A and B are shown apart, each in its own frame.
Chain A
Amino acid sequence: MGIVRTENLTFEYIRRDEEGNVEGITTAVDNVNLDLQAGQFIAILGHNGSGKSTLAKHFNALVSPTEGTVWVDGMDTRDDAKTLDIRQTAGMVFQNPDNQIICTLVEEEVGFGPENIGVPTDEIWLRVEESLKAVGMYQFRKASPNKLSGGQKQRVAIAGIVAMKPKCIILDEPTAMLDPSGRKEVISVLHELNKRENVTIILITHYMEEVIDADRVFVMDDGKIVLSGTPREIFSQAEYLKRLRLDVPQVTELAYELKQAGIPLPDGILTKEELTAALTAFKG
């Protein structure tokens, strides 16, 4: 059984008007069955309102299913006695770093989580050091978080989760507010954590090029999983993705356009290296 598993997961919320009368029911997550393997780098794509954030919030028991079941590392998220264990197993990072940082020093920020779960002081400092090194922010440990760039703040937020020693980190559009190098920093830190520490990464994003190196991609629409596969399998379906308000990486789009113009290229080109190789081979 995977690190996160869902069975017939459905989540509904009731819309009310100003007087509190029921206006209708929205099904945000609709009968989702997933089995996410530990140690993988997983990406979830979907347009605004497709249900991906609601789905992700089930993975660390921030919301509880209306129907069906979610297990995190074998624990049922509806079991209140397990809530703390679940949140230590699966940590969550959100879009805006400024909303998640509360301490005046980077090292205090990272130590905040472990302190709250009663980790002994010596062990806390050890974890702070390890976590900051893992995200490449150790030299900023005595800095004030509000003096950092967006990418650095987001790496500190990730270190705060890493210090809890989670098996899994869920990130909901962690790069939406970052500049190009901030985005690159965050994505490469996630791959490092995945490879070196074997942490399962679940990344929600609207940037298609951040998904290229994922092990597995899920695409959501209208609360359902409508596509799943490797990045190559997913991005071979450019037209379907566009109908889902999504896109393909610019390299893939260019390859697709060239193919339409009669250049015989393989499907699902994902990197500029692949495109260069294919075009030079064609030119002969």
Chain B
Amino acid sequence: MSIIVDKISYTYEIGTGFERQALKEVSCVIEKGEFIGLIGHTGSGKSTFIQHLNGLVRATSGSIYYDGQDIYDKDYNMRELRSKVGLVFQYPEHQLFETDIFKDVCFGPKNLGLTKADVELRAFEALRLVGLDESLYYQSPFDLSGGQKRRVAIAGVLAMKPEVLILDEPTAGLDPKGRDDILDCVKALQQETGITVILVSHSMEDVAKYVGRIMVMNDGMLMFNGTPKEIFSHYRELEEIGLAAPQVTYIMNDLKNAGLDVDVSAITVDEAKASILKALGRN
């Protein structure tokens, strides 16, 4: 299973005064089981891009191949694609609506026409995967904390058994522990189930800590595509387009300039610590 994106472009409101090109010939390959971070300033085209991956928005030109099949082929089952590629929008807890958590998670699979037993099995599995305590399953989702609500919303998408999980800023507005909990849970999910994850984030520290590859969007184009270390070595260019490197990367650069022989490609606290200790002869 892979997704091949071949030169897709998308223009909003063609033929009106508001015409604007949101994507410009974006090409990339997403392999099964990858954990990808998608970064870019507000308005860079990230959200438009991810909506193409499950067919919510159709490219003005270019092609997308899912598992080798052209999703714009007239015989292609777009409905199936939408259950294979699960999209968790920003503030997904605003979409919770059922009277209890379990029913809310059942809503998606129920619409797939499965038997009641299958629907419930999927809901149980999904809630277990997001690590929600069982005592909460039959409570109202509206009594939960922000982070818990968000996990229920993610479970609702997981119950569709997607092969690809796309999360659009899943940690916005959460406290630091809530941020770590959600991302730890997504990481464990990716490692346990082999699901492909695409994380859209404005937190460079989170992206540095969790993902295996980063794609950087700017002005509707894919500007960089590489490992976190490669991407954050371009931190000056990232700053020019409204982004940054993780805070530790700046520290390491300062230390290097001050004459300490440290590794400036460190992007997490652990890497920075190891490198500083080594430079001080303390390893």
Contact = CB atoms under 8 A, between A and B. Distances in A.
Interface of A: 15, 18, 46-49, 95, 149-151, 173, 176-183, 206, 208-209, 242, 245-247, 249-251, 253-254, 257-258, 261-263, 272-273, 275-276, 279-280, 282-283
Interface size class of B (residues with CB under 8 A): 35 or more
B283 to A, nearest CB: 9
B25 interface: no
A251 B254 CA distance: 12
Contacts of B282: 261-263
A20 to B, nearest CB: 14
Contact of B269 (A48, A49, A246, A254): A254
A250 B247 contact: yes
Given A206-B174, A245-B177, A257-B273, A182 B251 contact: no
A283 B260 CA distance: 8
Contacts of B248: 250-251, 254
B112 interface: no
B242 A180 contact: yes
B273 A150 contact: no
A180 B204 contact: yes
B280 A245 contact: no
Contact of B145 (A48, A149, A263): A48
Contacts of A149: 41-43, 242
15 contacts: A47-B175, A149-B41, A151-B42, A177-B202, A178-B202, A180-B244, A182-B41, A206-B175, A208-B176, A250-B251, A272-B251, A276-B251, A279-B255, A280-B260, A282-B280
Contact of A48 (B174, B202, B258): B174
A151 B243 CA distance: 12
A218 B204 CA distance: 26
A258 B173 CA distance: 30
Interface string B231-273: 0000000010011101110110011001110000000010011
A104 B246 CA distance: 36
Interface of B: 40-43, 90, 99, 143, 145-147, 169, 172-179, 202, 204-205, 239, 242-244, 246-248, 250-251, 254-255, 258-260, 269, 272-273, 276-277, 280, 282
Contacts of B90: 177
A179 B273 contact: no
- Counting from the closest, the 4 A-B pairs by CB-CB distance are A245-B177, A247-B176, A250-B247, A47-B175
Contact of A176 (B143, B173, B280): B173
A251 B251 contact: yes
Contact of B42 (A48, A182, A276): A182
Contact of A279 (B147, B178, B276): B276
B168 to A, nearest CB: 11
A179 B243 contact: yes
Nearest to B147: A48
A227 to B, nearest CB: 15
Contacts of A258: 273, 276-277
Contacts of B276: 254, 258, 263, 279
A247 B172 CA distance: 16
Given A263-B277, A276-B255, A283-B259, 11 more contacts: A18-B99, A176-B173, A177-B169, A177-B172, A179-B41, A245-B175, A253-B269, A254-B269, A261-B273, A263-B282, A272-B254
A176 B147 CA distance: 14
B250 to A, nearest CB: 6
A262 B143 CA distance: 45
A272 B264 CA distance: 14
A276 B254 contact: yes
B96 to A, nearest CB: 15
